[in-house]
Chains A and B, each alone.
Chain A
Amino acid sequence: MDIAEELLNGSRLALSRAITAVENEHDNAVDIMQKLYAHTGNAHVIGITGPPGAGKSTLTDKLAKEYRKQGKTVGIIAVDPTSPFSGGAILGDRIRMNDLTLDKGVFIRSMGTRGSLGGLSRKTAETVKIMDAAGHDIILVETVGVGQSEVDIIKTADTIIVVLVPGLGDDIQAIKAGILEIGDVFAINKADHEGVDRLHTELEMMLDLNQQKTEWRPPVKRVIANRGEGITELAESIAQQIDQSKQSGQFVTRRKERTRSELLVMLDELLGRHVRNKLSVDGKIDKLVASVESRVRNPYAVVNEIIASVLR
């Protein structure tokens, strides 16, 4: 039996190995994904994002437990930053999730960003699909601690939870573009800390000013993740959001948009690789670079010529 078949038959080792194959771009990765693709699209994918130290891992742990109480199986992908210097990483999100390790209804995978800057790794979306194919009802994707512009999670999740904590900045922060625009549900964690009322008011004001996209007005929920307070209410908001999204057609639109962008990105990558391989034959690229560098030719004309020769 191959990895894809074993995975579909419920092997946890095969699930784990499939993720590795994709993450490291093993030769069998494309074959695995092709076999799994028909089995994807069933899971509810929930993104959890927010600044470092906001409590994303703890909240992820508590939400997973809430879904387990509802009898749902949960896949968790926890992304942490890769060092730009050594290429190594400390993946430490599991520390907050140790109670889930022995629950067979939960599968947790840690990933390093490996150079990606959008808050996820390049292979996170495919890892979501692998967990989806393995039959998880809910997939929680925890991003790296983000600043303001790491919004790749919108390309992956059906529901995005932005986790904030009191005391990070004044109200100007709240009207900035970026992560505050992508939340479907806002969670104010550490809601027993000073400044929670002010943050809550600022968020509500910001959300009232943003009435463009849909009829869904993102709710702001207070939680104290390490004590498990407010988690059931947060899960209710998530359920309402996904129901509303399905009713309004937003759900389908988002997924279609995602499929379109994945298709185009894959096309760019494979086409780019194909062209590069061709150009590397006989030092062709070096000659072109030399002619551009010496200003004999210009890069625009050279690229047009390459494209014309490939598409011939």
Chain B
Amino acid sequence: MEKRVRILVAKPGLDGHDRGAKVVARALRDGGFEVVYTGLRQTPEQIAEAALQEDVNVIALSLLSGAHNHLFPRIVELIRANGMNDVLIIGGGVIPDSDIAGLKAAGIAEVFTPGTSTTTIIDFINANV
């Protein structure tokens, strides 16, 4: 059996900076993961549908616009409504520490803020999938 972990790297919302997402995508590839990258400016509905079609094990959300408190929980909700209850959803970007507890309560498994090494992200995924 050839299990390979599949990860959707997605950028919800309107910010146009995907340098970070691309660096993470590349690091995940080098970590042996299959990374589906969907590009900029995705709606929560698009992200949930892409995750369904690709049957990913992990969804990594990157967001720099400040709309995380609105968009992240919405995405979790849509993913779960599709019946994908076992998907690990993580987030990253400029997210204030004070928001992290709320995001975790909404179903985001972990939040990675600027300065996180890519190894930390890979280790977290390997430990939780």
Contact of A101 among B30, B46, B84 (CB under 8 A): B46
* B86 to A: closest C-beta gap in Å: 11
Q: Which residues of B contact A88 (CB under 8 A)?
A: 28-35
Of A104-112, A228-236, A301-309, the one touching chain B: A104-112
A interface, over-half SS: mixed
Q: Which residues of A contact B29 (CB under 8 A)?
A: 83, 86, 88-90
* A80 to B: closest C-beta gap in Å: 9
Q: Which residues of B contact A272 (CB under 8 A)?
A: none
B interface, over-half SS: mixed
Contact of A19 among B1, B33, B50, B55 (CB under 8 A): B55
A-B contact count (CB 8 A): 86
| B35 near A91: Cβ-Cβ < 8 Å | yes
8 Å CB contacts to B: which residues of A55-92? 82-83, 85-92
* A123 to B: closest C-beta gap in Å: 9
Q: Which residues of B contact A23 (CB under 8 A)?
A: 2
* A26 to B: closest C-beta gap in Å: 6
Contact of A114 among B4, B35, B39, B55 (CB under 8 A): B4
Q: Which residues of A contact B38 (CB under 8 A)?
A: 94-95, 98, 101
Contact of B84 among A13, A26, A107, A114 (CB under 8 A): A13
| A91 near B34: Cβ-Cβ < 8 Å | yes
Contacts A86-B29, A92-B37: A13 and B1 contacting too (C-beta < 8 A)?
Answer: no
Q: Which residues of B contact A114 (CB under 8 A)?
A: 2, 4
- Does B70 sit at the interface, judged by CB under 8 A? no
| B34 near A89: Cβ-Cβ < 8 Å | yes
| B55 near A16: Cβ-Cβ < 8 Å | yes
- Does B115 sit at the interface, judged by CB under 8 A? no
Interface on A for B, CB 8 Å cutoff? 12-13, 16-17, 19-20, 23-27, 82-83, 85-92, 94-95, 98, 101-102, 107-110, 112, 114
Q: Can you list 8 A-B pairs with a CB-CB distance of less than 8 A?
A: A16-B54, A83-B30, A88-B28, A88-B30, A88-B31, A89-B35, A94-B36, A110-B36
